[in-house]
Amino acid sequence: MPIPLNISFHGMASSTALENHIREKVESLEQLHPNLTRCNVTIEQPHHHKNQGNGFNVRIDLYVPGDEIVVNRDVNEDPYIALRDAFEAARRQVVKHAEKKRGNVKRHSLPGAAERQKTED
């Protein structure tokens, strides 16, 4: 079942093509973490300079039971590249969150533990 998705455009016209692209990216995140409950995506074009490129900001708020995953990227002049980079960062955070919930997080040993282990053998 698809999660509730809110897509907002600021400082730019809304785009059906960008909305469809965002929906595809969110669907792939849903497959990684089935407990996602809601997603808000905001794409913004804050500055309109004649001589410089118009960069895009992308913010992704993902909600899981008891937690929120936030990605905020000021990335690129191309909105599709900005979205790609933001969703890749979101994917990494979703995977990390899922591993943490499962207890698959790598634990670091205490300093000197390896030396103590050698002397005990």
Taking the CB of residue 95, how many other CB atoms lie within 10 A of it? 13
> Domains plus CATH for the chain?
5-120 (3.30.160.100)
Average pLDDT over the chain, rounded to whole? 81
- Categorize the per-residue pLDDT at 112 as very low, low, confident or very high, splitting at 50, 70 and 90: low
Give the pLDDT of residue 95. Answer: 87
User: Is the pLDDT at 111 greater than 80, yes or no?
Assistant: no
Mean pLDDT within 92-102: 83
Residue 65 DSSP one-character state: T
Mean pLDDT within 41-53: 72
The dihedral formed by the CA atoms of 85, 13, 2 and 90, expressed in degrees to the nearest 10: 20
- In 3D space, the residue among 67, 35, 42 whose CA is nearest the CA of residue 57 turns out to be 42
pTM of the predicted model, to two decimals?
0.75
Crossing angle (nearest 10°) for helices 79-102 and 16-32: 20
